[in-house]
Amino acid sequence: MYKFVHWISELTDKLGTLLFLPAMVAIITFDVVMRYLLKDALVWSQEVTGMLLFMFFFAIQGNCFEGGHHIRMDIVYNHYPLWAKKLTTVISCISGMLFFGLIGLQGVLEIPYMLKVNETSDELRLPLWPFRVFMVFCCLQMVLLLINTIFKPVSQSRGH
């Protein structure tokens, strides 16, 4: 299961870094050029870049976690004995599973309502449920990565 979740993590990271971020930069650049050179702002640019930023952060979180690029108190953590490192890892993973699990659960609960009332964005009237589905997918990915992190030391100590 880990290889599949790792593959999904790399895929969403590439989606974020190769699609969402460059699109956001291009739209912001075009908006600035339009505003300052042609004195005409793009009404929809803030809405689209906000959605792209939202999806970018959710897309890259798994790969950031796997690569150890997340915020951790390494100055303190590196001085812990092995048992304390394992304990703090388990506690932080359980906290993360609770955090991402509840965000994902709330997303799942809201999707039917969003479909029912056809909830859309303000300017472009884009349906919002696809963004919520993406968020739920990324939260599920994070929960699976955190579960793997908890059991990884156990499987390694058993010689698997």
**pLDDT digits 0-9 by tens, 8-17:** 999 999 999 9
Tokens of 137: 């997918």
Q: Which helix (H) or strand (E) holds 60?
A: helix 45-66
- Separation of alpha carbons 27 and 46, rounded Å: 9
Share of the chain above pLDDT 70, in %: 93
**pLDDT digits 0-9 by tens, 76-113:** 888 889 999 889 889 999 999 999 999 999 999 999 99
- Separation of alpha carbons 16 and 43, rounded Å: 24
Mean predicted confidence (pLDDT) in 126-142: 96
Which pLDDT value is given to residue 72? 66
Q: pLDDT band at residue 1, thresholds of 50, 70 and 90?
A: confident
Taking CA atoms, 55 is separated from 10, 32, 83, 116, in Å, by 15, 22, 36, 23
Could you tell me the residue ranges of all domains in the chain?
2-157
Q: Which helix (H) or strand (E) holds 49?
A: helix 45-66
